[in-house]
Amino acid sequence: MHADQPLVTIQQEGSAITARTSGPLPQHGAADPPEREHGYGHLTAPLRRRGLECTVEYGLSDYIVHAQLPDGSALLISPPREPPTDHPPGHPESWMVTRAHPDNSALHEVLYDSEPDGPQARHGGSIPNLLTAIDARLDQLGVPRRAEAASPRVGAALAPSPSAQRTVQDRLPAAPAARPKLPPTHPSSAPAR
């Protein structure tokens, strides 16, 4: 057995079979499994597709999505801070998105605030409106769009071949001026049903 492989022990007692595993705990990278997202995968997945490193951590009263930006600043996406509300994980009644930099306390920007008194209050807990606002700000900051964030190999596979040739006609053929006439229809002598 290798040191990084789990050991599986199977034991049978009568008709019952028990399997036990032992070994190292799995290491999770940037693409954590959904159970580690605490119900916020619908936020972290689009951000990761833009190449951002995301974590989901427990804050004062609820989970917070932390997305690291290329300039060293970070987005914090959270439900309302106080009071905690009873909502399904990842689906609060409103959202607050801020951008801050750990080394520059002067950088504190509110990107989105759909709390009852916030500028986007009319959107409430809408995920599409939240992601649209985040995408718009990421575009302004120069963070590559999802398609641009693809690996170089994917980009190369999607690019047109330099040896491919394409012929384009100067003009499309003109449509016929009139449709051909169809033969006249004769009433059926069979009785209608």
pLDDT value of position 34: 46
Give the residues across from 11 on adjacent strands. Answer: 18
Highest mean pLDDT out of 11-15, 20-24, 99-103: 99-103
Non-local CB neighbours of 107 within 8 Å, separated by 6+ positions: 73, 99, 100, 101
pLDDT band with cut points at 50, 70 and 90 for residue 15? confident
Name the 3-class secondary structure at 13.
strand
- % the chain with pLDDT above 70: 54
Backbone angles phi, psi at 78, to 5 degrees: -145, 155
pLDDT value of position 25: 45
The DSSP H or E segment spanning 4 is none
This prediction's pTM: 0.56
Q: Let me know: does 129 contact 116? Beta carbons within 8 Å.
A: no
Residue type, 184: P
pLDDT value of position 177: 58
Structural domain boundaries in the chain: 40-96+119-145
Residues 68-109 have pLDDT tens digits of 999 999 999 988 766 556 666 666 788 899 999 989 889 999
Q: Let me know: does 89 contact 39? Beta carbons within 8 Å.
A: yes
Q: What is the mean pLDDT of residues 138-149?
A: 78
